[in-house]
Amino acid sequence: MKPKLQDKRWSKDFEKPLYEEWKRKKLYAFNRKSRKPVFSIDTPPPYVNTPVHIGQATTYILMDFFARFKRMTGNEVLFPLGLDRNGLPIEMAAEKRFKVKLTSLPRRKAIALCKRILEESSMASTETFLRSGISFNSWVLGKLTGDVYYTDSPEYRALTQGTFIDMWKAGLIYEDERVCNFCPGCRTTIADAEVEYRNLPSTFNDIVFRCKETGEKIIIGTTRPELVCTCGMVIFNPNDKRYKHLEGKTAITPVFEKEVPIRSHPAAEMEKGTGIMMMCSFGDLTDIRFFREMKLEPVIAIDKSGKMNRNAGILRGLGIEKARQKMIEELKRKKLLVGQKRVSHRTPVCERSKDPIEFISMKEFYVRQIDQKPKMKEMAKKLKFFSPRSRQILIDWINTVSIDWPISRRRYYATEIPLWYCKKCGEPVLPPKGRYYQPWQEKAPIKKCPKCGGGEFRGEERVFDTWFDSSISPLYILMYDKDDDFFRKHSPCTLRPQGKEIIRTWLYYTLLKCYLLTKKSIFRDVWINYHIVDERGHKMSKSVGNVIDPADVIDRFGAEPLRLWAAIEGNLTRTDFRCSFERIEGAGKTLTKLWNVARFISMFQAPEHKPKLMETDTWILHEANKLVEFAGKCYENYDFHNPAVRIKHFLWETFASHYIELVKSRAYNQNNKFSRDEQDAAIYTLNKVLDIIMKLMAPVIPFITYIIYRKLHGKDIHFTEFPVPEKTKKPGFDTDTLLQLNSRIWKKKRGKGLSLKSPIKTITIPQKFRGIEKDFKETHNIQEIKYS
């Protein structure tokens, strides 16, 4: 008897022809004409120019489980691949690669360099997804539903601009001059969501102020001496007896000799520094609040280029660092610096460039988000979160939102703000929706200003925050503003899968913006993943050098062990998990097991009709059916972990070790001890259970299940129906007792050094096993069975 599966084991080399075939035949393309319900997945577009990392690959693999499962349960799955090509990361890469500051180049030149970076960025990440067996709708850039899309394509940018135009008209956007987070490195305003904190070394300087009334010295500690020129007040804690007598008096700042009031205020802590502090505009966010609270007039000393301006007197024209040095020298010269101490200072930095941010007053566009906080919270509560506890991260963030969303940026490689201004009266002019505009190099869409009749216009030069682009991904994939019928029918998007670290950005902004535009929640489900960390539990990062490239893992072990590992290792919606090659490799053993079980079964010719089953057969079918029920329920809730663990266990410990052993002789039937029907019943059941296992596992391990199923049935398993629970007869015995009974007999024979085939004269077993007597007798070579 020759098995239909000839190879002795599964090999990772079997994968390549398969994914190439799937890609070539466009098997998973989205069919717009399908009558099936649409299950849409708004996948996170990774940056094209950064290699995929193992955590990212793992999350796409998990999304692929969902997509494949949904396809097998009668859904038309919208699962497009998007690639993010906008914004600072691209510009940073260009600056690094060409060793230039883009801000010092003409705009066209800067954009050209970014384009070159994008051209050079290989399709390495896409290749990794392909090799991982991800069933994206398409692998080619296109305009059809489900095609690969770029966030910098004219279509995508046109939609971004279209949403701006709509929001502008709805009065949701306004321009205002106020203090913003400003990154001197990127030379642009950034949102609170783009700020992160770093511990940076800094120097704490004790400098001398003087009291005008008493002439006494006041020693004040500061890390920002260059801001003395903006000092608006000197404060100490109301309970601080040391300074009580200064209340209401006047301090004279060093070097600048400006008079400022001295007050008590709880913001000053007695234990910190000298207990008395200068309040400047603006060293950090508390300063901003303080100036507002005290109704002080801020002094702006840093300009848009990150340099000190004329308010800084002798420091004028210097960058922050240089200005600080110069100020310290000046203080030293005047003997007004009485102490210095190195400290580590938690500093707000730009999440992209890592430059310390400054607070500078600038005119920017804002999206009204403060008004929406109650609505956002309500939406957050209604969304289905997987796991539910991730909801809190979003709610916490909504609670901390304290200013409107600044959306304009002073950069180049991003979507342009579609506006022109009348040169005569300044009236802003909005173009009609429908195409992509570049106002800085394009003529205004109208000839005459509607307000003053002027004929000359200036194009807006600023661009959008990249989150203003990214926050429309579900609108884009659902053909918003392109095919209203499709959008209406298939919105909300079924699933947003994403990392926990971008809840405050991607998820929040998407919900906000889509709500502002459609007045509805754009998602039904939100699936939040934690992280894959390195073997020691540390976050992977380029600078630490512990990043694992999934391509290497696939080279070594293939995609299937990686995929199975991703399912078995843990529940990524609840906890981080560690990446270990050893364990990924270990997952491969289950593939071998499955392969060999299938290889064994493939030796027999499956019967054409369902034969009458014996009790051993109904028992295993009953067990398999429990698995079907469990898996189906869990998969619906995006839980592949628990079923995968259970299916794997069932495969090894129940099906292979016990059922197969029990019916082996019946399937071979070499001595014709069984009837043809009985033999067929075994073969039928072996095939049936194998099919169930394979279909349950097909979303997880698509390659091996595809090959086996095709060899056995000549069909593509991924286009078969996912098993549904069937009515099965409950066997007269329970599984554990049977397993124990078999094991005890095998153990006893081994203990006596006997072969497992050695005969047993008589044995007494419980009555309930009467139904499987024939198989049981053959398996253990028993001459006589007695029942108790």
CB of 40 to RNA, least distance (A): 28
Which one of 166, 483, 576, 773 is in contact with RNA (CB under 7 A)? 576
Which one of 14, 486, 581, 746 is in contact with RNA (CB under 7 A)? 746
Q: Give the Cα separation of 787 and 373 in Å (integer).
A: 72
Q: What are phi and psi of 429, to 5 degrees?
A: -120, 125
CB of 707 to RNA, least distance (A): 15
Q: Give the Cα separation of 788 and 786 in Å (integer).
A: 7
Q: Which is nearer to RNA, 134 or 601 (CB)?
A: 601
Which one of 389, 489, 610, 633 is in contact with RNA (CB under 7 A)? 389
Which one of 103, 438, 592, 720 is in contact with RNA (CB under 7 A)? 592
| Cis upstream peptide for 69 (omega within 30°) | no
Q: Which of residues 288-347 bind RNA (CB under 7 A)?
A: 345-346
Which one of 109, 245, 272, 710 is in contact with RNA (CB under 7 A)? 272
CB of 715 to RNA, least distance (A): 23
Q: Which of residues 346-375 bind RNA (CB under 7 A)?
A: 346
Q: Does 250 bind RNA (CB under 7 A)?
A: no
Which one of 37, 586, 632, 725 is in contact with RNA (CB under 7 A)? 586
Q: Which of residues 645-664 bind RNA (CB under 7 A)?
A: 645, 649, 652, 656-657, 660-661, 664
Which one of 130, 179, 183, 268 is in contact with RNA (CB under 7 A)? 268
Binding pattern for the stretch 157-196 against RNA, x by CB under 7 A and - elsewhere: -----------------------------------x---x
Q: Which of residues 494-523 bind RNA (CB under 7 A)?
A: 500-501, 504
Nearest to 704 by CA among 7, 12, 2, 3: 12
Spatial neighbors of 710 by CB under 8 A, at least 6 apart, are 716, 717
CB of 569 to RNA, least distance (A): 6
CB of 657 to RNA, least distance (A): 5
Nearest to 681 by CA among 785, 784, 745, 771: 771
Tell me which stretch binds RNA (CB under 7 A): 22-30, 109-117, 120-128, 577-585: 577-585
Q: Does 285 bind RNA (CB under 7 A)?
A: yes
Number of residues that bind RNA (CB under 7 A): 75
Q: Does 256 bind RNA (CB under 7 A)?
A: no
Three-class secondary structure of residue 621 per DSSP: helix
Find the Cα–Cα–Cα–Cα dihedral 713, 717, 719, 720, rounded to 10°: 70
Q: Which is nearer to RNA, 34 or 743 (CB)?
A: 743
Nearest to 643 by CA among 699, 587, 601, 691: 699
Q: Give the Cα separation of 430 and 418 in Å (integer).
A: 7
Q: Which of residues 665-684 bind RNA (CB under 7 A)?
A: none
Nearest to 91 by CA among 409, 545, 303: 409
Nearest to 383 by CA among 574, 524, 509, 504: 524
Which one of 275, 313, 317, 428 is in contact with RNA (CB under 7 A)? 275
Which one of 756, 758, 759, 783 is in contact with RNA (CB under 7 A)? 756
Q: Which of residues 602-631 bind RNA (CB under 7 A)?
A: 603
Residue 758 DSSP label = S
Q: Distances from the Cα of 323 to the Cαs of 204, 228, 320, 326, 656, in angstroms?
A: 15, 11, 5, 5, 75
Rg from Cα positions in the chain: 35
Q: Which is nearer to RNA, 93 or 277 (CB)?
A: 277
Neighbours of 426 (CB within 10 A): 12
Q: Does 400 bind RNA (CB under 7 A)?
A: yes
Q: Does 9 bind RNA (CB under 7 A)?
A: yes
Q: Which is nearer to RNA, 21 or 396 (CB)?
A: 396
Tell me which stretch binds RNA (CB under 7 A): 267-275, 333-341, 411-419, 676-684: 267-275
Tokens 């050094």 correspond to: 753
Q: Does 589 bind RNA (CB under 7 A)?
A: yes
Q: Give the Cα separation of 731 and 618 in Å (integer).
A: 7
Q: Which of residues 757-776 bind RNA (CB under 7 A)?
A: 757
Q: Which is nearer to RNA, 225 or 459 (CB)?
A: 225
Tell me which stretch binds RNA (CB under 7 A): 300-308, 390-398, 477-485, 761-769: 390-398
Q: Which is nearer to RNA, 70 or 224 (CB)?
A: 224
HEC string of 225-285 equals: HHHHHHCCEEEECCCCCCCHHHCCCEEECCCCCCEEEEEECCCCCCCCCCCEEEECCCCCH
Q: Does 546 bind RNA (CB under 7 A)?
A: no
Q: Give the Cα separation of 52 and 75 in Å (integer).
A: 29
Nearest to 290 by CA among 250, 260, 316, 326: 260
Q: Which is nearer to RNA, 672 or 755 (CB)?
A: 755
State the DSSP H helix or E strand holding residue 344, giving kind and residue range, or none if neither: strand 337-350
Q: Which of residues 210-239 bind RNA (CB under 7 A)?
A: 220-224
Helices vs strands, H then E, count in the chain: 24, 27
Question: Side chain identity at 260, as an amino acid letter?
Answer: V
CB of 102 to RNA, least distance (A): 27
Tell me which stretch binds RNA (CB under 7 A): 33-41, 311-319, 404-412, 581-589: 581-589
Neighbours of 650 (CB within 10 A): 23
